[in-house]
Amino acid sequence: MGGSRFRFFSSHAAAGTAAASTCLAFGNECDDRFAAATNRRRTPVSTSSHANGSLKTWLVEIQRVLKPNGVFGVEEHRAKADANPDESAKKGYLPEKWVIEHIEAKGFKLAGKSEINANPKDTKDYPEGVWTLPPALQLGDKDKDKYVAIGESDRMTLKFTKVAKPAAAAAPATPATRARGAC
């Protein structure tokens, strides 16, 4: 059983990087550093990887390749609001508040949310975690009709922007740079 994954979509890749928005959405045209950090050549970032630093590395690379005010989105299996992230991640879910806090702590601002992937039928308490539900159906034919009726997991869909760094303040004039005759 593998971890679930952050799926992310982006626009405004930074100039000078090979990471275009197609790289972020589909995993092609990435530079090697970005591809390695975001697992674009293997499996996407696992929800259970937040404890070992993969999420931090992933966010650092997203920060690196986006221009100021660049936009990216996250789609992730949503745990119950009071869930312990270390425990819920083992079942493929993360609390929305935890995801937002961790992404904002890395220099992004939540710009919007959508409930387009919400599923109130998902009780988040299945024997094989999120992988019990379609499309994985880890239990095979056991209670298959029940899980198909529930449908896919309840997922958060979040939009973030890269916070632009404030422009550097102009250095005060030194005596050597002041105009002659100025007091």
How does pLDDT run across 16-35, given as a tens digit for each residue? Answer: 333 333 334 333 334 555 55
Is residue 133 domain-resident? no
d(CA 125, CA 183) in angstroms, rounded, equals: 75
Question: Is the predicted pLDDT of residue 133 greater than 70, yes or no?
Answer: yes
**What is the domain extent for residue 98?**
7-118+154-162
The pLDDT of residue 19 is: 35
d(CA 27, CA 173) in angstroms, rounded, equals: 48
The pLDDT of residue 140 is: 96
Is residue 111 domain-resident? yes
Domain count, the chain: 1
Q: Where are the alpha helices (DSSP H) in the chain?
A: 21-26, 32-37, 54-65, 85-90, 96-104, 144-150
Torsion over CA: 14, 43, 76, 136 (sign): positive
The pLDDT of residue 62 is: 85
Is residue 168 domain-resident? no
d(CA 78, CA 4) in angstroms, rounded, equals: 11
Question: Is the predicted pLDDT of residue 98 greater than 70, yes or no?
Answer: yes
Is residue 99 domain-resident? yes
- Backbone dihedral angles phi then psi of residue 70, each to the nearest 5 degrees: -60, 155
Q: Which residue has the higher pLDDT, 174 or 114?
A: 114
Is residue 130 domain-resident? no
- Backbone dihedral angles phi then psi of residue 4, each to the nearest 5 degrees: -80, -170
Q: Which of 5-9, 118-122, 168-172 has the lowest average pLDDT?
A: 5-9
Is residue 108 domain-resident? yes
CA distance readout (Å), 110 to 35, 53, 71: 24, 21, 10
Share of the chain above pLDDT 90, in %: 45
Is residue 43 domain-resident? yes
- Backbone dihedral angles phi then psi of residue 17, each to the nearest 5 degrees: -110, 155
Highest mean pLDDT among 55-64, 153-162, 167-176: 153-162
Q: Could you report the per-residue pLDDT of 49-77, keeping only the tens digit for each?
A: 444 457 788 888 888 888 888 888 888 99
Is residue 140 domain-resident? no
